[in-house]
Amino acid sequence: MSFLHRLLDYDPVAYAYMYVLFVGAFHALLVGAAAVMLIPRLVLGGWRKYLRTLRRFLLFNALLLAFGILGNSLWMTFVYGHRYISQDTVVDFFPFIPFGQWALNVEWGGKTGSLLNGASLWELRGLWALVAGMVWTATVLVYRGITQGSLLVRLRRIVMFEELTESP
């Protein structure tokens, strides 16, 4: 299967949908748990501080989910099917759970996954670390840019062509 055909295939859309469904549910549970665990902040600091903290946690999780979708797409396009196969591909890339034997040992109809083309678990863990590092880095950088206001100001300037029309 050619590289272009693999990118244009519908599989990446299905993988992204499954990622949003399952990993998104996990992030929703995290935000729900945070809402409960932050109740002391509500009592001590009031609604404003409580909601600000909860919104920031929600924003971070939403960004991690969005960049995780991209990471999962990279993983499924460039690693799955080339370096290993598994019987259950609901979600093979989690940015917070390192790749391991768990992805290969899933039984589906009596079959399990396997390594391909001389790949090793350590190679796959290294690839996972690379993709997960990109996901976490992008999440943190965009989160900081949004919360510090610099990213939104820059985007507004770009969209409004303000940097192009400013005189020196």
Q: Is the separation of the CB atoms in 106 and 88 below 8 Å?
A: yes
pLDDT value, residue 4: 55
Query: CA 43 to CA 6: how far, in whole Å?
Result: 53
| DSSP conformation letters of 66-93 | HHHHHHHHHHHHHTBTTTEE-S--S---
**What rounded mean pLDDT belongs to the chain?**
81
Q: Where are the domains positioned within the chain?
A: 3-165
Q: What digits encode the pLDDT tens for the residues 104-135?
A: 765 555 556 777 878 888 898 999 999 999 99
Q: Is 118 left (phi over 0), alpha (psi -120 to 50) or beta?
A: left
pLDDT value, residue 47: 87
Q: What are phi and psi of 86, to 5 degrees?
A: -140, 160
C-alpha torsion 56→128→88→107, nearest 10: -120
Which portions of the chain are predicted below pLDDT 70?
A: 1-10, 88-89, 102-103, 105-112, 152, 155-156, 158-168
